[in-house]
Chain A
Amino acid sequence: EDQVTQSPEALRLQEGESSSLNCSYTVSGLRGLFWYRQDPGKGPEFLFTLYSAGEEKEKERLKATLTKKESFLHITAPKPEDSATYLCAVYGNKLVFGAGTILRVKS
Chain B
Amino acid sequence: ETGVTQSPTHLIKTRGQQVTLRCSSQSGHNTVSWYQQALGQGPQFIFQYYREEENGRGNFPPRFSGLQFPNYSSELNVNALELDDSALYLCASSWGQGGNEKLFFGSGTQLSVL
Q: Known interface pairs A4-B42, A94-B58. Does A43 touch B106 (Cβ–Cβ under 8 Å)?
A: yes
Check A94–B105 contact: CB distance below 8 A. no
Task: Give every chain B residue within 8 A of A42 (Cβ-Cβ).
Answer: 107-108
Contacts A96-B45, A97-B44: A43 and B102 contacting too (C-beta < 8 A)? no
Contacting residue for B43 out of A31, A32, A97, CB 8 A: A97
Interface residues in B, total, Cβ within 8 A: 23
Task: Known contacts A32-B100, A91-B99, A95-B99; decide if A43 and B42 are in contact (CB<8 Å).
Answer: no
A-B contact count (CB 8 A): 55
Dominant secondary structure of chain B at its interface with chain A: loop
Tell whether, in the assembled complex, residue A31 and residue B92 are in contact, meaning their CB atoms are under 8 Å apart: no
A41 & B42 in contact (Cβ 8 Å cutoff) = no
A-facing mask of B96-112, CB < 8 A → 1, else 0? Answer: 00111011111110000
Is A87 among interface residues, defined by CB-CB distance under 8 A? yes
Interchain CB contact under 8 A, A46 and B103: yes
Residues on A with beta carbons closer than 8 Å to the beta carbon of B35: 97
B100 to A94, Cβ gap below 8 A? no
Residues in chain B near residue A45, CB distance under 8 A: 105
A13 to B100, CA, bound (A): 32
Verify if B81 is at the interface (C-beta below 8 Å from A): no
Q: Interface on A for B, CB 8 Å cutoff?
A: 4, 31-32, 34, 36, 41-46, 49, 87, 89, 91, 93-100
* A-B CB contact pairs (8 Å), 18 listed: A32-B100, A34-B103, A42-B107, A43-B90, A44-B90, A46-B103, A46-B104, A49-B100, A87-B43, A89-B42, A91-B100, A94-B58, A95-B99, A96-B45, A97-B35, A97-B43, A99-B42, A100-B41
